[in-house]
Structure 1
Amino acid sequence: MTPDDDDAALVRRMALDDRGALATAFDRFAPTLTRYAWALAGSRQDVEELVQDTLLTLWQKAGTIDLPTGALLPWLLVVCRNHARNQARRIQKNAGDELPAELAAPTDADDARERLRWVRDAIAALPPTDRRICELCLLDGHSYAEAAAMLGLSVGAVTQRVSRSRARLKKAVTHDEH
C-alpha cells in the first residue's frame, strides 16, 4: 500500500470530493461491512441498506473524520452499528416490539465499559489462530481467502473458525449462557 492509498489519505481525498476515493473505499471496505451487517440485520435488503448508509455517511462526513490510529475500518464499523440500531428501532417501532438487547444502546458509561470488557475477554480467550483470523477478517477487512493464504489454512477452515468466533463473541456481548 502506498502512502496515497492509506485510509487517512483516502478520507482526505473524499473530503475533496474525489469520487474515485469513494469507489476505492467501497472496494476496500464493502466486503467487511457486508459481513458485519449480516450479524446485525436479518435480510439482504437490510444488509445492503446498512452498507450503503455507512458509506454515504463516510462520504458526507469525510471532512470531519479524525482517525487517531490511521485506520478507517473501526470508524466504519461503529457507523454501521449505529445505522443498524436506527434500522432496528424503525422496524421494531413499526412492529410494536422492543429493540433486541444486543442492539440496544448501553444506558450509561459503566454499562458500555462492562459490555466492552466481555468482548475483550471473549477475544482474548480465543485460541491464537482464531484470534488472528478475527483480526485479519473482521477488523483488517481481508477476505477469507486472503486470510487463509496468509495463515496457511484452507478457506473452509477460516470460514468455520470465523463462524465459531462470531458465535462466541455474540454470546459475550449478549451475556447468553447457552
Structure 2
Amino acid sequence: MEEQEYPEGFKEVFDTQYKRILDYAKILFGDAPGTVSGRTEDAAQETFLVLLCNWEKFCASPNPEGWLTFVCRNVCRNLKREDQKWTRNLRWVVHQPVQGDPNGISTLVELEGLIPPEDMRLLERIYLEGCSHKEVADELGLTASGLSMKLSRIKAAFKKKYKEFL
C-alpha cells in the first residue's frame, strides 16, 4: 500500500501536537485520569483531519496552536451534540407506544428485524445506560476506534431503516 502524501510539515505538527490535542479533548469529554474514551480519540483524529483539509489556513494563522485548539473544541462540541441527539432519539424510540396497542408496548417491538438486537443493545448501553466507550469496547474485545466505527455503521443503518419505519 502506498503511503499518502501529506503537506510539508504536517507530520511534524501531528507528532508534536497530537498528545496535546488528545489531552485537551480528554478534558472536554471529562475522561478519568489515565483513560481515553473512544469519543476523545475520535475528536483528536477528526481535529487532525480538519487540519489536513485546511492546511493553508493553519499555516497562515498568527497562532497555529490556538487555531488547532479551537478546531478541537469545535469538534468536541459537535461530537457531544451528536451524542445528545442520539440519546434523545433513542429515549423517544424506546418509550414510544405502538399506535392502537392498549398495553403500550414500545416501538422496539416494531423495530425488531430492522436492526439486529445486539446492535440495538449496543446503542442502549452507550446512549441510555451511559456506559463509556472504553467499557463497552473492552467487553466486546474491540479498540476504541473499532467501537466508534461499529457505532457509526449501526447509527447509519438505524437512520436509514427507522426513516422507512416512520
TM-score by length of 1: 0.40
Q: Which structure would you say has the larger Rg?
A: 2
TM-score by length of 2: 0.43
